[in-house]
Amino acid sequence: MDAACSSGIYAIDDAMKAIHVGECDAAVVGCTNLCLRPTTTLCFTKIGVLSPDGISKCLDASGS
Considering the domain architecture, whether residues 5 and 23 belong to the same structural domain is answered as yes
Considering the domain architecture, whether residues 14 and 42 belong to the same structural domain is answered as no
DSSP-derived letter for residue 6 is T
Domain count within the chain: 2
Q: Is the pTM of this model over 0.75?
A: no
Instruction: Give per-residue pLDDT as tens, 4-54.
Output: 667 888 889 999 999 999 999 999 998 877 778 899 888 888 888 888 887
Query: Are the CB atoms for 31 and 8 separated by under 8 Å?
Result: yes
C-alpha span between 3 and 8 (Å, rounded): 8
Q: Which domain holds residue 13?
A: 1-33
C-alpha span between 11 and 13 (Å, rounded): 5
